[in-house]
Amino acid sequence: MNAKLKIIQVGNSLGVTLPKEALSALKVEKGDTLILTQAPDGFRLTPYDPDTAKQLEIVRAVMKKRRNALRVLAK
């Protein structure tokens, strides 16, 4: 699906309106949170998942604490 999105003024911010087909494919609705991440080919828009966010938080803490061990394992 390709959709042309127009940037609009929303209060003091800017935003875009997503078509119904995109919302349906993402399985989101009004009030849900989306995550925008940079990807090698552009950007990726995914629904926010609290379980995944918690797992990523734990992984980041482990990576920070065990940085040296992970470097050795990466060789």
Query: Which contiguous run of DSSP H or E holds residue 1?
Result: none
Q: How confident is the model at residue 53, as a pLDDT?
A: 76
Structure tokens at 70: 């992970």
Split at pLDDT 50, 70, 90, the class of 3 is: confident
Distance between CA atoms of 31 and 5, rounded to whole angstroms? 19
Distance between CA atoms of 68 and 34, rounded to whole angstroms? 34
User: Model confidence over 17-67: pLDDT tens digits?
Assistant: 999 999 999 999 999 999 999 999 999 999 988 788 788 889 989 999 999
